[in-house]
Amino acid sequence: MTVREILSIGHPALRARAAAVPRCEIASERTQGLVDDLIDTMRHANGAGLAANQIGETDRVVVIEVNDNPRYPYKPPIPLTVAINPELEVLDDETVVINEGCLSVPLRGDVLRSVNLRVRYFDREGAEHCITVRGLTAGTWQHECDHLDGVLITDRADPSTLSTWDEFEQHHRDAFIERITRFNQQMSS
């Protein structure tokens, strides 16, 4: 297990646009090692996802997983997903405000996200995938893919909603969970 340092806001790597991984390099030892490091680091930090930029790498690789995550108990489960060269396509105009956190930014804030997306990517074996994601899961994909473009939640969040994790827990968490639970129920009905 290799846990890498997660870079914090201010580090230039977080503002760099990641480069596509050539398909012929997906099976390489370097790319596979990066994927393993991303998984180990994300799980160690209890993250819902992690982009290569966040550990100082310039490849278009993200990992996403939500499974009884103590940081995000309100998020629906997402099986471990390795996405190389992910591309997002917004499917309609429906949006939702999600209070997001980030492993690279010690703040949370309300971010307007698209609800329905089509996602295309290659997995770690080089197989191509095309999936449709909704709601909070779509928000997670948008958050991680933003990282690959050098975009942080501080660029997208309503500045008046920014708070530290502790202040969010104390003052805003219950209202957000109530609102997002109603949203999730509406989506599933």
List residues with catalytic annotation: 144
Return the structure tokens found at 13: 């790597």
Q: Rounded CA gap, 148 and 159, in Å?
A: 22
Count of other CB atoms within 10 angstroms of residue 7: 16
118 and 141 Cβ atoms separated by less than 8 Å:
no
Q: Rounded CA gap, 36 and 33, in Å?
A: 5
Count of other CB atoms within 10 angstroms of residue 14: 21
